[in-house]
Structure 1
Amino acid sequence: MIKTKQHYHSYLKADKVALGRNSKKPFFADNIWKFERLLRKVEYYHNCKSSILWKPYVLFLKWRYHLMSVKLEFTIPKNVFGPGLSIAHIGTIVVNNNARIGSNCRLHTCVNIGTKAGHSGLAPKIGNNVYIGPGAKIFGDIEIADGIAIGANSVVNKSFLEPNISIAGVPAKKISDKGSEELLIKSTEIL
């Protein structure tokens, strides 16, 4: 969670590296990078600027964030993802606000990270360096270890505590000892 201006800047740097963005591409042409920058800005101002003087600006930022979320079809709440978030494509992504996801997560379109049915607070805890393939559904009071690669269209409804493996299927099961190593950029380690 972003707690200082220094945290805010380190999250932005990690996200930029994870997305593979360089300064040559025009900012206005990259909606995913604009979205991630706005997400981190909302997190920073929400967490660090609690004074009544900041309230109108924070509300304005949240309104802009909501509009951009609707445009890109992302339902990603603040303070869920660690640094190094990489969203691969524009398209439906739904994440519950009780989920906790570590650093260097790569998400694809049509991912759903939700709670156990009928329990609003029982959401997944996902480790660092996790790759989540297109269409994956992850739900319930479960834990996903570091370095796991989750295959496309998988349904993950139980914990996987063995690190650096691949899981896939409906329901998901271990399919390989090869994890997410080649599927994402570990930006927090690079920086």
Structure 2
Amino acid sequence: MHIPNRKELRRILSEERALYLGRRGRYQEILRFLKAHPDYYSWKYARRMRITCFYYGKRKNNPYYALMYLLSSRRMNMLGRKLGIEAGENVFDEGLVIYHTQGIVINGNARVGKNCRLYGNNCIGNDGIHAACPIIGDGVRICVGAKVIGDVHIANHVVVAAGAVVVKSCDVEHAVLAGIPAKVIAIEEQSKRFLD
């Protein structure tokens, strides 16, 4: 994802903050901080990822941005280690929501579209033989324990069911993928309304 300027960065941060903390503003953020709520820490990670992505795009033009990229990347990775998240800063398009943080491993070469939902214990990466990584469309939900592995393409608004292991591409929008290896088991009508 490329974030061209600070105005766009602020817009993305504002929209994603509402996804994690609700639209009640500072009250929700303080309350969730005091409770050490998982949503607060997921939001902190997503925020740091977007800031790091912004600096990443500018790092070659200015030594200041290169330094800020290194510092921000370090903060993102340190927080990720505490939360159990390993991901590149440029993988996800806007609208990402991480519901449960533990056990998330995302290869930095994978590409994931807008409004992705991760439910925890997920892996999106290469197959260990070839370097190619998944390309995932918009509005995809990757449920608990689901994995997407290898040079695969996933269409928009697909649901990868809990525990599924996707090793083949799915070009069917609104499909539900389940099993090991995953295959289409249904076309979900309800998902057509998800984030449209």
TM-score by length of 1: 0.89
SS in 2 for 1:97: coil
d(CA) in 2 for partners of 1:33 and 1:94?
A: 17
Residues 120-135 of structure 1: pairs in structure 2 closer than 5 A: 120=131, 122-135=132-145
Shifted more, 37-46 versus 12-21: the winner is 12-21
Provide closer, same or farther for how the CA distance between residues 90 and 179 of structure 1 changes in structure 2, counting only shifts above 3 A.
farther
Kept after mapping to 1: 8 A contact 2:117/2:140:
yes
Q: 1:156 aligns with which of 151, 162, 166?
A: 166
SS in 2 for 1:25: helix
SS in 2 for 1:26: helix
TM-score by length of 2: 0.86
Provide closer, same or farther for how the CA distance between residues 181 and 16 of structure 1 changes in structure 2, counting only shifts above 3 A.
farther
Structure 2 residue aligned with 1:6: 7
Structure 2 residue aligned with 1:51: 62
d(CA) in 2 for partners of 1:166 and 1:101?
A: 17
Shifted more, 111-120 versus 71-80: the winner is 111-120
Structure 2 residue aligned with 1:83: 94
Residues 15-164 of structure 1: pairs in structure 2 closer than 5 A: 15-19=16-20, 21-22=22-23, 23=25, 24-26=27-29, 28=33, 29=36, 30-49=40-59, 50-120=61-131, 122-164=132-174
Deviations 1:8-36 (A, max 9, x none): 12322332243353312225441111111
d(CA) in 2 for partners of 1:7 and 1:172?
A: 37
CA RMSD of aligned residues (A): 2.0
d(CA) in 2 for partners of 1:114 and 1:154?
A: 14
Greater relative CO (CA pairs within 8 A, separation 6+):
1
Shifted more, 175-184 versus 54-63: the winner is 175-184
d(CA) in 2 for partners of 1:114 and 1:11?
A: 25
